[in-house]
Homo-oligomer: A and B are copies of this chain.
Amino acid sequence: MLSFNRILLFMALLFTGLAQAQSNDSLFIRKLADEILLRSQAYENLRVLTKNIGPRLAGSSGMVKAEKWGLAAMQAAGADKAWMQECMVPHWVRGGVDKASTMVNLGDGKRGISLDVVALGNSMGSGPKGVTAEVLEVKSFEELESKKEQVKGKIVFYNYPFNATFVRTFQAYGDASKYRGQGPSQAAKYGAVGTIIRSMSHGANNHPHTGATRYDSQYAKIPAVAIGLEHADQLSQWLKKQSLQVKLETHGYFLPDTIGHNIIGELKGTEFPDQIITVGGHLDSWDNCEGAHDDGAGCVQTIEILRAFKALGYQPRHTIRFVLFANEENGLRGGTKYAAEAKEKNEKHIFALESDAGGFTPRGFGFTMSETQYQRVLSWQPLIAPYGCSEFSKGGGGADIGPLNRTFTTPVAGLQPDSQRYFDYHHARNDVFEAVNKRELELGAVNMAALIYLVDRHGLGQ
């Protein structure tokens, strides 16, 4: 048995060791922050990706350009090895300018009004003549159900508002997005000929927000558009006083699946080369915007972490993969492929982190992992909090790393930037470079780099 004094000595050494480790970590994280805040390429990379390349939906020419750019950017940032991982991606095409119009009597006779709309991703066109029908407004699926006898031959207008009382806007999105996903088929089930969905946004503007819908193959694939908030309110007000016919013109269709790629840069691990840490964002964007927040930000942060590690001469213990995933928006084929190939090759994935919630000021991370792993992560909170991510919580990750988590129960985490402005831009034409703040973007990369560094140094255990 150890004497009490020896135990004391042992504990003193242990604490000194721990304190020393924390102090070394703290110093290195400070270096990472200085490197990124003083010499970041993230903002300039974002400018090139959004302004020179622009929209890059799966299958589009923008996708091909973005992939080429991504590979070159990984090489320029200093990857030991960079490659393209092939996957088949869906190829939805908007096909034209989406339109909606109506004739309204504003007290001085009827006049034609154009409504600001955008077709939902994956939705089918209205045909060359468009679809003209009376509008039936419902606030919810419950109301649709109660009015199902009236739906046949109508255009159903889902006017379900983003709930302002949820402090975190992702809660409002989770609450409302079912109308975008299931609304068209739910309406078609009762014979509707078209759908208009109130945009998923709090934005004080009229930009319509697209996003994927999912047709149920049992029902007709009716045209579906999202409408800007001001026009949604206007339409609702008019409908209180008069019945209205709306003409919808959309042009969406699918071409055959085509070849897309995940873009992967790698730093080889010095001690555990076979154990892989993944950090990434998704390279595709919707076709109606520059995809600056969604998810250009996550891509350039990912590349920036690689650049900063290399610039500081950091030699990771584990292999770190920096990944720009393909086709998050309307298929998740990139993330699915990444996990499937990892399984085929029997790779060991010890952690994955994604940034796909915008390039806003960082506030925290959400973690999906075991309680023991979460407790370890919590012990690092004081090291990361000074850079903005003070809020650690359970739950969270990212769409593209979801398949990794489901395949291997790999622990995953998601960067949680401040969410207030995200749905002002999400999937709308104003998601452009100018909407991203340079320092907010960079600080996101700083916090992510710190977390990746800590996982690499200390591991996560089981």
Which one, B167, B387, B439, contacts A388 given CB within 8 A? B167
Most B CB within 10 A of own CB, among A204, A386, A390, A424? A204
In the complex, chain B residues whose CB is within 8 Å of the CB of A361: 361, 418, 420
In the complex, chain B residues whose CB is within 8 Å of the CB of A437: 420-421, 424
In the complex, chain B residues whose CB is within 8 Å of the CB of A418: 361, 418
List the number of copies, as a whole number: 2
In the complex, chain B residues whose CB is within 8 Å of the CB of A438: 202, 204
Bound state CA distance, A363 and B438, in angstroms?
19
Q: Indicate whether A134 reaches chain B with its CB closer than 8 angstroms.
A: no
* Chain B nearest CB, measured from A28 CB (Å): 15
Known contacts A361-B361, A390-B391, A391-B390; A167/B443 CB under 8 A: yes
Which one, B37, B165, B387, contacts A37 given CB within 8 A? B165
Q: Indicate whether A309 reaches chain B with its CB closer than 8 angstroms.
A: no
* Chain B nearest CB, measured from A391 CB (Å): 6
Q: Indicate whether A34 reaches chain B with its CB closer than 8 angstroms.
A: yes
Bound state CA distance, A165 and B202, in angstroms?
33
A interface, size bucket: 20 to 34
Within 8 A of B (CB), among A134-171: 164-165, 167, 169
B424 touches A202 (CB 8 A): no
Known contacts A437-B420, A443-B420; A37/B164 CB under 8 A: yes
Bound state CA distance, A361 and B169, in angstroms?
13
Bound state CA distance, A204 and B440, in angstroms?
12
Which one, B164, B363, B390, contacts A439 given CB within 8 A? B164
* Chain B nearest CB, measured from A233 CB (Å): 15
Q: Indicate whether A33 reaches chain B with its CB closer than 8 angstroms.
A: yes
Bound state CA distance, A437 and B169, in angstroms?
14
In the complex, chain B residues whose CB is within 8 Å of the CB of A386: 167
Q: Indicate whether A1 reaches chain B with its CB closer than 8 angstroms.
A: no
The contact sample of 13 A-B pairs, CB cut-off 8 A, is A33-B165, A37-B164, A38-B164, A167-B443, A169-B439, A202-B438, A204-B438, A361-B361, A363-B363, A420-B443, A421-B437, A421-B439, A424-B437
- If A33-B167, A167-B387, A390-B391 are given as contacts, then 17 extra A-B residue pairs at C-beta distance below 8 Å, sorted by A number, are A33-B165, A37-B164, A38-B164, A38-B165, A43-B204, A164-B439, A167-B443, A169-B439, A204-B438, A363-B363, A390-B390, A418-B418, A420-B437, A420-B440, A420-B443, A421-B437, A421-B440
The 4 closest A-B pairs by CB, nearest first: A37-B164, A361-B418, A420-B439, A420-B440
Which A residues fall within an 8 A CB radius of B? Answer: 33-34, 37-38, 43, 164-165, 167, 169, 202, 204, 361, 363, 386-388, 390-391, 418, 420-421, 424, 437-440, 443
